[in-house]
Structure 1
Amino acid sequence: MAQESRFTIKAVRSFIIGGVGSGGDYHNVKGGHWLIDSDISTPCSRWEQFRKSRTSWGINVLGSFLIEIESVDGTVGIATGFGGPPGCWLVHQHFERFLIGADARNTNLLYEQMYRASMFYGRKGLPIAVISVIDLALWDLIGKLRNEPVFRLIGGATKERLDFYCTGPEPTAAREMGFWGAKVPLPFCPDEGHVGLRKNVEFLRKHREAVGPDFPIMVDCYMSLNVSYTIELVKACQDLNINWWEECLTPDDTDGFEQIKRAHPTVKFTTGEHEYSRFGFRKLVEGRNLDIIQPDVMWLGGMTELLKVAALAAAYDIPVVPHASGPYSYHFVFSQPNTPFQEYLANSPDGKSVLPVFGDLFLDEPIPTKGYLTTADIDKPGFGLTINPVARAKLIPSTYLLTPPPVPTLSTPAVAAPAEAAPAEAAPAEAAPAEANASEQKEANGVVEKLSEKIEQLTTSTPA
């Protein structure tokens, strides 16, 4: 057996993030937030009852969670993502077996083991998103143990300044905040017919007129269009100088991008936010019908897999501009030569101010308050994030969900110790079992109370 080192993993812990507005689930926000309650075309917009709010069809159903990975010397790596209770279940019931006792530096090995072990039910979606958060926590741990920021571990700085565009409801606000461009969500879907298409054109024209002819505007179609509608919409907007059209088609319609690119060869198209692993990106890159790919490091497989996707894209000279993901993306983009800029996803309710992407979860999350960041802003060990004590108080250990302590039966009498085992002067110790039962009962009651609070938060905090 290899000699134990300070990089050896001793423990893995996971937490559900109570309340709303914190952590890696971008959509776990309060009602009235632009991100969930604006007119946004989605895959479910074809049904009228699901057009008013994205929470109506469950976009925030999983919630956020947090992982801690502790090495034998007590150093702790942390990361957040989306997955909630199901994510925590996968961490401990499946993936933990590959981590305990392993060397945290073996990120390629650990990724491959988790990916291949979950292949029979995973490959995409939640299992890979959970692996992503584990992987990010490993990189945070390695950086802390080596006292280096992650971007220096994965290649060092390729740029001293990182410029951002802003995804939000108002391009004029993005320009005023110092961002180089703005991305807006498309409001109407193909099922709303020619009237909806005309409203989409009017919506984009209004924003173009507000910011002038040269300020870059991008359009997020969020998997909601089809080939024919995309071709028609892009043609109708050809005089609006749209910088790119994003995620026009569903993730599985990779052949459709060839058709829309053939129809509009000089127009830029992007996608990748909802794709997973290097295998998922291979066809997107090899087709050469995309001008930019946009993987999400908290979803596609973590930093370990994102580096492989970036190398694949670089071989085809396709830029990589990650989807959101806050500081995790920032470290990646600073380190790679084919990553020209980064997205900032506006986290304020009205989308018109710059707030931390992960809410109040961390004390020191770097944010592009002037539309950019420098290497000095992220030059801290690991990802440079510290859990906010206020947010930690809202963390619910997943042990409460996975292995709740038994609730003692109140009618069961305490069992006294045999007389010969307790000398006369120690007689008061006979009450210890009853005290222990009372303590266990109190702990169990606390578990039930916390779970009840969490259920109430999940069911009432973001009404549809």
Structure 2
Amino acid sequence: MKNPFEIVDMRTFLVTSQGDGGDYGRQKQGHWLIDTLISNPMSGYPEYRASRTSWGLGVLGSIVVEIETASGTVGVATGFGGLPAIWLIENHFKRFIVGADLRNVNKAWDQMFRASMFYGRKGMTIATISVVDLAMWDALGKQRQEPVYHLIGGACHDEITLYCTGPAPDAVKDMGFWGAKVPLPHSPYDGEEGFAANVAYLTEMRDLVGPGYPLMVDCYMSLTVPYAIRLAQACLPLDIHWWEEVLHPDDIEGYWLLKQAHPTLTWTTGEHEYTRYGFRRLIEERTIDILQPDLMWVGGLTELLRIAAHASAYDIPMLPHGSGPYSYHFIASQASRPLCEYVAASPDGRSVLPCFGKLFEGEEVPQNGRIGISDKPGFGMSVADRSLLTPYADCALATG
């Protein structure tokens, strides 16, 4: 008898629309994520300072992966990587997935990782593996008719509290979110004028939400150690709840210096780190107060569970970056604090929309700053409109 868990097909698609799918930066003009002045690694180049899309944010685009089993179950997931990612899946990773047993997610992950080690290890390669991994978990949950969190230990919580990242913290507070995170506008390249403007901006943001409301600052890998120490000192009266991704992801020693300078402040990072190997030093050297991996980038749910187990031995909290329902299922399964990020999906950041736009049917959206834990099979989503998808065979990089 044929094994009902055998994977008989894996299909890949490019999401052709803007604002739909797992690439946060693939937004229409006018969206706060791309048209707000945000300090970033390219801020030193004036011609690329005004908009992050000018230097390539969102250039890759969203993808969708479908995995089908012998029983007819179809799992689906989204992420980023565009044409290069689906080429990689079709021409390299597919050999490890089609014909495999869906239940052997650890084996599939390990084979994809090891086989791509000579060119991968981080970045887009791991993000691509992440989407395949999430599609496998979705298929497994749907095949077993159970939500994914049941497959990874069950639910520790029936509701998750959310904070919201966006340009309008006053609206975030009014919508009932636990806290608000705002992007820092100016980088060290803007000199003293930019420094003063940063302090003035954060003062304005604090005034909008009032005292006591959690206010966080996202620095998007763009500051230096001296600048960050000085900015944090200048903003002590503003009671910033945490400073996020202040430095280049590889500057682990720099985070140690930040903690030495301001031991009572909370420093977070991990959004742009990959796999347990990338997180090992962050955990073991205790330089970071909160870790923030992204499930669509870090290696998927399979790898995040390993990282979380490692971090738990050091009592380091893990609050995933974005990723919507993928993060919700992970957090539901963990005994730690049920707090998660919601990245404002509306163009002005003043209303709540699905994280993945119009791509999925069944995506849960926050209500009054909270999200209930769904009992729908898998991650609880299916493709809503297939006209948004272009199959790999119809894409420019397809090869015979």
Shorter-chain TM-score tier = over 0.9
Partners of 1:194 and 1:4 in 2: CA distance: 69
Matched residue, 2:172: 174
Deviation at 1:333, TM superposition (A): 0.5
Deviation at 1:338, TM superposition (A): 2.4
Matched letter for residue 393 of structure 1: S
Matched residue, 2:150: 152
**How many equivalent pairs are there?**
399
Matches within 5 A, 1:386-397: 386-389=382-385, 392-397=386-391
Matches within 5 A, 1:28-427: 28-375=26-373, 378-389=374-385, 392-401=386-395, 402-403=397-398
Residue-by-residue CA offset, 1:376-429 (whole Å, 9 max, x unaligned) = xx210000002113xx11210001235468xxxxxxxxxxxxxxxxxxxxxxxx
Partners of 2:270 and 2:135 in 1: CA distance: 23
Deviation at 1:155, TM superposition (A): 1.1
Residue-by-residue CA offset, 1:32-74 (whole Å, 9 max, x unaligned) = 1001100100000111111110000001110001000110111
TM-score, length of structure 2 as denominator length: 0.98
In the alignment, structure 1 segments of 5+ residues that lack a partner are 406-464
Deviation at 1:4, TM superposition (A): 4.1
Deviation at 1:370, TM superposition (A): 1.4
- Per mean C-alpha deviation after superposition, the further-off stretch among 348-357 and 4-13 is 4-13
Q: Is 1:14 the equivalent of 2:12?
A: yes
SS in 2 for 1:78: strand
Partners of 2:248 and 2:398 in 1: CA distance: 39
Query: Are the aligned partners of 2:359 and 2:388 in contact in 1 as well (CA < 8 Å)?
Result: no
Partners of 1:135 and 1:379 in 2: CA distance: 20
Partners of 1:207 and 1:300 in 2: CA distance: 31
Matched letter for residue 246 of structure 2: C
Query: Are the aligned partners of 1:318 and 1:338 in contact in 2 as well (CA < 8 Å)?
Result: no
Partners of 2:287 and 2:242 in 1: CA distance: 13
Matched letter for residue 313 of structure 2: A
Partners of 1:108 and 1:117 in 2: CA distance: 14
Query: Are the aligned partners of 2:186 and 2:198 in contact in 1 as well (CA < 8 Å)?
Result: yes
Matched letter for residue 15 of structure 1: F
SS in 2 for 1:310: helix
Deviation at 1:208, TM superposition (A): 0.8
Matched residue, 1:432: none
Partners of 1:268 and 1:111 in 2: CA distance: 33
SS in 1 for 2:237: coil
TM-score, length of structure 1 as denominator length: 0.85
Matched letter for residue 385 of structure 1: M
In the alignment, structure 2 segments of 5+ residues that lack a partner are none
Partners of 2:98 and 2:204 in 1: CA distance: 55
Matched letter for residue 6 of structure 1: P
Query: Are the aligned partners of 2:159 and 2:338 in contact in 1 as well (CA < 8 Å)?
Result: no
Matched letter for residue 381 of structure 1: P
Deviation at 1:369, TM superposition (A): 2.5
Deviation at 1:315, TM superposition (A): 0.5
Matched letter for residue 287 of structure 1: E
Partners of 1:340 and 1:205 in 2: CA distance: 29
Partners of 1:290 and 1:142 in 2: CA distance: 34
SS in 2 for 1:141: helix
Partners of 1:396 and 1:208 in 2: CA distance: 44
SS in 2 for 1:239: helix
Partners of 1:298 and 1:286 in 2: CA distance: 24
Deviation at 1:372, TM superposition (A): 0.3
Over the matched positions of the two proteins, sequence identity in percent amounts to 56
Partners of 2:337 and 2:320 in 1: CA distance: 8
SS in 1 for 2:382: coil
Q: Residue 246 and residue 403 in structure 1: after superposition, are their counterparts in 2 closer, same or farther (change >3 A)? A: closer
Residue-by-residue CA offset, 1:214-242 (whole Å, 9 max, x unaligned) = 11000000000010100000000011000
Q: Residue 403 and residue 267 in structure 1: after superposition, are their counterparts in 2 closer, same or farther (change >3 A)? A: closer
Partners of 2:35 and 2:282 in 1: CA distance: 31
Deviation at 1:356, TM superposition (A): 0.3
SS in 2 for 1:289: coil
- Per mean C-alpha deviation after superposition, the further-off stretch among 314-323 and 283-292 is 283-292
Quick check: which one's helix share is greater? 1
SS in 1 for 2:253: helix
Residue-by-residue CA offset, 1:245-286 (whole Å, 9 max, x unaligned) = 000001111111000100000000000000000000000011
Deviation at 1:340, TM superposition (A): 3.1
Q: Residue 297 and residue 339 in structure 1: after superposition, are their counterparts in 2 closer, same or farther (change >3 A)? A: farther
Partners of 1:142 and 1:355 in 2: CA distance: 27
Q: Residue 403 and residue 35 in structure 1: after superposition, are their counterparts in 2 closer, same or farther (change >3 A)? A: closer
Query: Are the aligned partners of 1:317 and 1:338 in contact in 2 as well (CA < 8 Å)?
Result: no
Query: Are the aligned partners of 2:13 and 2:390 in contact in 1 as well (CA < 8 Å)?
Result: yes
